Amino acid sequence: MQETIQHILEQKFRNAFARTGIGPNIPVVLQESGRPEFGDYQINGAMAAAKQLKQNPRELAQKIIENVELTNVIEKLELAGPGFINIYLADEFLASRLGNKVLDVSLAQTETIVVDYSAPNLAKEMHVGHLRSTVIGDCLVRVYEYMGNKVIRRNHVGDWGTQFGMLTAYLLELNQNKESLQMELGDLEEFYRKAKAKFDADENFANKAREYVVRLQSGDAEILALWQQFVEVSLDHCQEVCDRLGTKLTREDAVGESRYNDLLAPMVNKLMEEGIAVDSNGAKCIFFTEDELGSKDETPFIIQKSDGGYLYATTDIAAVYDRVNNLHATRLVYVIDSRQSLHLKQLFVVAHKSHIANSDVKMEHAAFGTMMGEDGKPFKTRTGGTVKLIDLINEAITRATTLVKERNPEWSDDEVASLGHILGVAAMKYADLSKNRTTDYIFSFDKMLAFEGNTAPYLLYAYTRVNSIFLKAQSTIDAYLNKDIMITNGDEHKLALHIARFADRLIQVAKENYPHYLCSYIYELAVLFMKFYESSPILKEADLALRDSRLALAANTAKTLEVALSLLGIPVVAKM
């Protein structure tokens, strides 16, 4: 990939700071300008430097301006306010950065990244609570991959633990042939409900369920076979949901808790031997200092219960071991609800201090908030039940299909259905991804399906607008992508600048695990294009060179929109 604008400017100012006698400990602080009257970028580091060197900040900023070497990059620099430096990039420089190379964001230094996401418990069907992890995780996977990293998806499904004793006991109790069992498991929720009712009402059954847990955990072949059957059906359900959502997850990515079974005892032994875990009333626990956690919390990390049973925490430690030692991961990203923040903080501390993961292995919690209903409370059915994810997706598709039909009464049923599916899923994904993941957000079909504002329909529609220019010109986007561009007005400048920033934005998304940075990038791109489109004639432009240049700018917009949306897991469409 080409050196990014951010990188070029930072380097140039770094050098200028040095020439001005400012040490490397003072950051140049380069920012994208919020407003055009401040140029395209700003350098804000001169003030801090002046303070340290006890100099007048404006005079120091002026010296930096004299010392910076930016021929061919800028149109001008401007000293502003108490010592800001405003940077106006040269039109020719921007134009030279567009075309195919905008989309090349392959890093020189890549990583092996394991992304832990989706991860439902298999005892039940996927519900709305799994939407965020699935959608956010899938976007991060796409972004890391796009940048050339080796990415390994891990769907850490809950397929182990006490519920499975109950479920296998119930499965055996029904004593049916394979086909009718398949029927029985057709509604996992119902199956779980019935098993639980029996467990609560029937002492004998409850005892049997407990016995089965023990037999299951000790590898009893008969119970394992039943368990396997249950897990298979449940995984089929998950796969169906993930496919309907258009995620990259496959059955191979589902590596459940059970798969780490053999590693649990050795992990506990190791931690005990090293004195990291200690005996506490018969249980094996790890305690943390305030320093280690960054806050005071006395909750211990329990890795083995007094009855010998292992826990969620133990499995997660084993999974770190597997990911680092067998998969050779250099970075682990966990896309999990923010309510599990403490668990992950503890996990990361344990993994590092036991050297299960060396300190150069990065571990990150990409935490997310709760999805709320329009009443501002956690999303539930009208009667207060959990909403199955598949039902929610289907409703989005149905609503989108109705919209498509209304807008295009002349379309065939197939066309309507196909776009309805794409639009419904895109709307759901985009509504989620465009919010800062750390906050709760209100799920609203009406808002996400609106054709105005920061929504998937608006963006997909914007793409079709750009696309239609090429249809009208009887040409293609690809034919114009690498044609010469001349920037002749402010709207062209802003659009070109924004496109040229793609790599910098993507680097930021991958670094901070924030998909909403990418969403606002896309939205802004669409808005800037619309402004350009209104102010600058394209096909009607009489100057043919300028017409071609504008077509090239439109082609750059279309391609960037297409790639950026694809990184959210959203395909573009030719017409809407």
Question: Shortest distance, CB of residue 157 to ligand ARG, whole angstroms?
Answer: 7
Query: Binding ligand ARG by CB under 6 A: which of 40, 116, 138, 322?
Result: 116
Element spanning 492, H or E: helix 490-500
Question: Shortest distance, CB of residue 258 to ligand ARG, whole angstroms?
Answer: 12
Residue 45 is a binding residue for ligand ARG (CB under 6 A)? no
Q: How far is the C-alpha of 129 from the C-alpha of 113, rounded, in Å?
A: 24
Question: Shortest distance, CB of residue 208 to ligand ARG, whole angstroms?
Answer: 25
Q: Which is nearer to ligand ARG, 255 or 448 (CB)?
A: 255
Residue nearest ligand ARG, CB atom distance: 119
Question: Shortest distance, CB of residue 173 to ligand ARG, whole angstroms?
Answer: 26
Question: Shortest distance, CB of residue 571 to ligand ARG, whole angstroms?
Answer: 28
Question: Shortest distance, CB of residue 335 to ligand ARG, whole angstroms?
Answer: 8
**Closest to 465 (Cα-Cα) out of 572, 544, 334:** 572
Segment contacting ligand ARG by CB under 6 A, of 114-122, 377-385, 544-552, 555-563? 114-122
Question: Shortest distance, CB of residue 118 to ligand ARG, whole angstroms?
Answer: 8
Q: Kindly state the number of chain residues that form the binding site for ligand ARG, as judged by CB under 6 A.
A: 10
Question: Shortest distance, CB of residue 130 to ligand ARG, whole angstroms?
Answer: 8
Residue 119 is a binding residue for ligand ARG (CB under 6 A)? yes
Element spanning 15, H or E: helix 5-19
Residues 74-79: contacts with CB within 8 Å, 24+ apart? 78/39
Query: Binding ligand ARG by CB under 6 A: which of 4, 55, 121, 557?
Result: 121
Segment contacting ligand ARG by CB under 6 A, of 77-85, 117-125, 234-242, 525-533? 117-125
Q: Which is nearer to ligand ARG, 63 or 154 (CB)?
A: 154
Q: Which is nearer to ligand ARG, 81 or 369 (CB)?
A: 369
Whether 271 and 304 have beta carbons less than 8 Å apart is answered as no
Report which DSSP code applies to 375.
Answer: T
Q: Which residues of 290-317 are buried (b: 16+ CB within 10 A; e: fewer)?
A: eebbeeeeeebbbbbeeeebbbebbbbb
Burial class (CB in 10 A: 0-12, 13-18, 19+), 210: middle
Query: Binding ligand ARG by CB under 6 A: which of 97, 124, 156, 429?
Result: 156
- Residue 153 one-letter amino acid: R
Residue 137 is a binding residue for ligand ARG (CB under 6 A)? no
Residue 316 is a binding residue for ligand ARG (CB under 6 A)? yes
User: Helix, strand or coil for residue 158?
Assistant: strand
Segment contacting ligand ARG by CB under 6 A, of 118-126, 442-450, 485-493, 495-503? 118-126
Residue 158 is a binding residue for ligand ARG (CB under 6 A)? yes
Residue 75 corresponds to which tokens in the numbers above? Answer: 């149109």
Q: Which is nearer to ligand ARG, 160 or 212 (CB)?
A: 160
Residue 501 is a binding residue for ligand ARG (CB under 6 A)? no
Across the strands, what pairs with 87? 41, 77
Q: How far is the C-alpha of 40 from the C-alpha of 51, rounded, in Å?
A: 26
Question: Shortest distance, CB of residue 116 to ligand ARG, whole angstroms?
Answer: 5
Q: How far is the C-alpha of 356 from the C-alpha of 384, rounded, in Å?
A: 43
Q: Which is nearer to ligand ARG, 151 or 426 (CB)?
A: 151
Whether 181 and 229 have beta carbons less than 8 Å apart is answered as yes
Q: How far is the C-alpha of 130 from the C-alpha of 238, rounded, in Å?
A: 10
- 3-class secondary structure per residue, 159-205: CCCHHHHHHHHHHHHHCCCHHHHHHHCCCHHHHHHHHHHHHHHCHHH
Whether 63 and 48 have beta carbons less than 8 Å apart is answered as no
Question: Shortest distance, CB of residue 433 to ligand ARG, whole angstroms?
Answer: 19
> Of residues 184-223, which lie at the interface with ligand ARG (CB under 6 A)?
none
Q: How far is the C-alpha of 249 from the C-alpha of 117, rounded, in Å?
A: 9
Q: How far is the C-alpha of 455 from the C-alpha of 446, rounded, in Å?
A: 11
Number of H helices, E strands in the chain: 23, 13
> Of residues 66-105, which lie at the interface with ligand ARG (CB under 6 A)?
none
Would you say how long the chain is, in residues? 576
Segment contacting ligand ARG by CB under 6 A, of 88-96, 116-124, 160-168, 518-526? 116-124
> Of residues 370-409, which lie at the interface with ligand ARG (CB under 6 A)?
none
Q: How far is the C-alpha of 86 from the C-alpha of 30, rounded, in Å?
A: 10
Question: Shortest distance, CB of residue 129 to ligand ARG, whole angstroms?
Answer: 8
Q: Which is nearer to ligand ARG, 49 or 389 (CB)?
A: 389
Strands ordered across the beta sheet of 150-154: 150-154, 112-116, 331-334, 362-365
Q: Which is nearer to ligand ARG, 22 or 123 (CB)?
A: 123
Q: How far is the C-alpha of 257 from the C-alpha of 119, rounded, in Å?
A: 10
Question: Shortest distance, CB of residue 223 to ligand ARG, whole angstroms?
Answer: 22
Segment contacting ligand ARG by CB under 6 A, of 112-120, 244-252, 291-299, 379-387? 112-120
Q: How far is the C-alpha of 490 from the C-alpha of 88, rounded, in Å?
A: 12
**Closest to 389 (Cα-Cα) out of 183, 234, 245:** 245
Q: Which is nearer to ligand ARG, 42 or 112 (CB)?
A: 112
Question: Shortest distance, CB of residue 119 to ligand ARG, whole angstroms?
Answer: 4
Residue 125 is a binding residue for ligand ARG (CB under 6 A)? no
**Considering just the CA atoms, what is the radius of gyration of the chain in Å?**
28
Segment contacting ligand ARG by CB under 6 A, of 7-15, 119-127, 401-409, 424-432? 119-127
> Of residues 319-378, which lie at the interface with ligand ARG (CB under 6 A)?
319, 334, 336
> Of residues 252-271, which lie at the interface with ligand ARG (CB under 6 A)?
none
- List Cβ neighbours of 186 (8 Å cut-off, separation of 6 or more): none
| Site residues for ligand ARG per CB under 6 A | 116, 119-121, 156, 158, 316, 319, 334, 336
